[in-house]
Amino acid sequence: MSIVGVARLFVGKPVHPVGDDGRMALSDHLRELRARLLKSVLAVIVVGALSLVFFNEIYDFVYNPINQAKDNLPEGSNLLTSNGPGAGLLLYFKLCGLAAVVLTSPFWLYQVWAFIMPGLHARERKWSRIFAAIAGPLFFAGVALGYLTLPKGLEILIGFNPDGLTNLVDFDGYLSFFSRTLLVFGIAFEIPLFVVLLNLAGVLKGKTLGAYRPWMVVGVFIFAAIATPSADPFTMTLMAGPMVVLFLVSEVIARYNDRRRAKRNPFADLDPDEMSTI
């Protein structure tokens, strides 16, 4: 591949755009997917490298939740440890990598959406671009809520430690717990947006969402109970509550879109196998 071809993987339009008939060959789909993945990985690497300059601030940000939890626990109930001669060096890469994934989320979420968008009609693209722009802020909102719940979740979990025992937490284990919590909250906030996009694509109807609303609420709480690393009722409720509200908003948007689509095409919802009344 020439230098120009490599450069076009990272900048400008896709290397193999959609044809005039609105279709793309499977090989072109795979090349397009490769280009989107390369762009996302490159963005994470660049931001991760820049994050090394702010390592101390990132470390304080990550350490703050467990420090808050320790303030509400008996003295000596929790100690963070780091094992191995290379643990300190790996810590730099892990913290900056986590910061890069979160900070570049609007970019790689856009890459995911840009890969899907060619399969939609022109009208659906116009509306869905608005929701694609909301994906980044929603992810950040989920991450922020997850960060706010961390101290209480840690306090509950560490509080189960019996008196007389010192809870030694490896920093790698804590960082893994920290990362899962933030990413799970961020991704959870994207699920209602994905429901709206399914409606825009004509896969899911608003009335279907209404019919299964009680089961969706139950499913949200089950998902929150399984997905939250701390598995305590406080964190589960704080995740499930906003998700239920977002699902209700997505149902309202889906019903509005269905009515708008029905006005434009009154026969869109008719089953082709159903016998006509005429």
Alpha helices in the chain (DSSP H): 3-10, 26-51, 55-71, 87-103, 105-116, 122-158, 171-188, 191-200, 206-211, 213-227, 233-264
Give Cα separations from 87 to 78, 167, 171 (angstroms).
19, 20, 9
> By C-alpha distance, which of 248, 130, 115, 112 is closest to 200?
130
Could you tell me the sign of the dihedral formed by the alpha carbons of 261, 263, 267, 270, in that order? positive
Instruction: Give 266's contacts (C-beta < 8 A, 6+ positions apart).
Output: none
pTM tops 0.75: no
Check residue 16 and give its pLDDT: 47
Q: What is the largest CA-CA distance in the chain?
A: 82
pLDDT at 17: 52
Own/partner pairs, 66-74, CB within 8 angstroms, 24+ separation: 66/150, 66/151, 66/154, 66/169, 66/174, 68/151, 69/150, 69/151, 69/152, 69/154, 69/155, 69/158, 70/158, 72/155, 73/155, 73/158, 73/159, 74/163
Residue showing tokens 């003295």: 75
pLDDT in tens, the chain (278 residues): 454 454 455 444 444 455 555 566 667 777 878 888 898 899 899 998 998 888 888 888 888 888 787 776 666 556 667 777 777 788 888 888 888 888 888 888 778 777 766 666 666 666 666 766 787 888 888 888 888 888 887 777 777 777 666 677 778 888 888 888 888 888 888 888 888 877 877 778 888 888 888 888 888 888 888 877 666 677 778 788 888 888 888 888 888 888 887 777 665 555 555 555 55
Q: What tokens were used for 32?
A: 């397009």
Give the number of other Cβ atoms within 10 Å of residue 28's Cβ.
16
Which pLDDT score, from 0 to 100, does residue 42 have? 92
Burial class (CB in 10 A: 0-12, 13-18, 19+), 87: middle
Quick one: tokens of 147? 């960060």
178 and 260 Cβ atoms separated by less than 8 Å: no
Of 225, 224, 229, the C-alpha closest to 174 is: 229
- Interatomic CA distance for residues 227 and 184, integer angstroms: 7
Q: Answer whether 256's CB lies under 8 Å from 207's CB.
A: no
Give the contacts of 23 (CB within 8 A, at least 6 positions apart): none
